[in-house]
Amino acid sequence: MEKPSFDPGLTQQYSGALRRTINNEDGSFNVLRRGGSWRDVHPYLHLINMSLSRFLGLVFLGYMAVNTIFAVLYFLLGPGQLQGTDAPTEWGRFLKSFYFSAHTLTTVGYGNISPVGDAANLLAIVEALTGLLGFAIATGLLFGRFSRPSARIGFSERMLAAPYQDQLSLQFRIVNLRSNVLMDLNASVLFMTVEGPPENRVRKFKQLTLERDKVYFMPLTWTVVHPIDEASPLWGMTAEDLQRTQSEILIIIKGFDDTFSQVVNARRSYRHDEIEWGAKFNPAFHIDEVGEIVLNVDQVSSFTPLGASARAIAD
């Protein structure tokens, strides 16, 4: 009896052609969020998850913006409030006000420019406090970005329909791209299709049984194999069937990071056009002349076509 479909959290509703479910660049889900309010936005989550280049750019822009705001305020106080800002032009006086703002915000205090009046001194106190709090927040965010555990698991670029014992199988290969130790790795693989009549199509999800869904260690590579037998939902399907049903294989890898002593995970998907039919993976490691195992991380996607023109998973 065919196992019923279930919803893993991605909904079974269908209303048109869909993009891939998982973005392979970062493992995020291809979902656009709309209709929320500003109260739902968490700045820390946004800043901790953005790319490093964008984060550093945002810190720099914030630093320049705060300096400019305080420089304008110093400039508006007049030339008598800051000693050492005399200049032949207004632009020159503004530049010296900007330099004094940078000195105060970073608490450097070279001493070539100093506040004289009460207004300038009060403004300098506020700016110094702003600088201390701002740099403390930026430092905490930077530390949080570098200290949080994350998995860098490399996936083979394509999934293979490869021979397995006396039948075929779906296979993909993974490797730890970092030098840390990952333990107790678990793999979960879902088969997603779009089925039903044109006026009432739905997405269906089925769990694929794996030859081995867990390994204790992964110092080398791990080839995850789904044997195609009569109990498999792919039994008898062809490449054209997978294309017609907009098939996508969803993968979740979960493991324990021995360095951070925390659970990490990685996500990936393969669409129907990312399956190589009739091929096998090439070895990604070898034994050198002194008996050391040498792992070639860049060979995780290497495969050899078998020359077969088979287009069906099974007869």
CA neighbours within 13 Å on the CB side: how many for 147? Answer: 6
- Model-level pTM? 0.74
Taking only the tens place, the pLDDT of each residue in 275-313 is 999 899 999 988 988 888 898 988 999 999 986 544 444
Determine the structural domain holding residue 134 and report its residue range: 39-147
- Residues 307 and 285 sit within 8 Å (Cβ to Cβ): no
Taking only the tens place, the pLDDT of each residue in 292-302 is 889 898 899 99
- Is beta strand 279-281 parallel, antiparallel or unpaired with respect to 275-277? unpaired
Residue among 208, 161, 172 at smallest CA distance from 189: 208
Q: Which stretch of DSSP H or E encloses residue 187?
A: strand 182-195
CA dihedral 158, 160, 161, 166 (to 10 degrees): -170
CA distance linking residue 277 with residue 162, whole number of Å: 7
CA distance linking residue 106 with residue 134, whole number of Å: 10
CA distance linking residue 293 with residue 237, whole number of Å: 39
Tell me the backbone φ, ψ of residue 197, rounded to 5 degrees: -65, 160
Does residue 127 sit in the same domain as residue 108?
yes
Domain boundary among 103, 131, 147: 147
Does residue 218 sit in the same domain as residue 250?
yes
Flag whether 18 is in a domain: no
Does residue 174 sit in the same domain as residue 116?
no
CA distance linking residue 287 with residue 295, whole number of Å: 9
- The separation between CA 268 and the C-alpha centre of its own chain, rounded to angstroms, equals 11
Tell me the backbone φ, ψ of residue 280, rounded to 5 degrees: -140, 150
- Asked which of 3-12, 84-93, 123-132, 136-145 is least confident by mean pLDDT, the reply is 3-12
Ramachandran assignment for 196, one of left (phi > 0), alpha (psi -120 to 50 degrees), beta (any other)? left
Does residue 255 sit in the same domain as residue 182?
yes
Does residue 295 sit in the same domain as residue 206?
yes
Residue 24 pLDDT class (50, 70, 90 cuts): confident
Flag whether 17 is in a domain: no
3-state secondary structure of 128: helix
Length of the chain: 315
DSSP state for residue 196 in the 8-state scheme: S
Alpha helices in the chain (DSSP H): 43-49, 52-77, 90-105, 118-147, 239-244
- Looking at this protein, which amino acid is placed at residue 217? F
Structural domains counted in the chain: 2
- Averaged pLDDT, 71-97: 90
Residue among 72, 124, 131, 134 at smallest CA distance from 98: 72
Per cent of the chain over pLDDT 70 is 91
Flag whether 52 is in a domain: yes
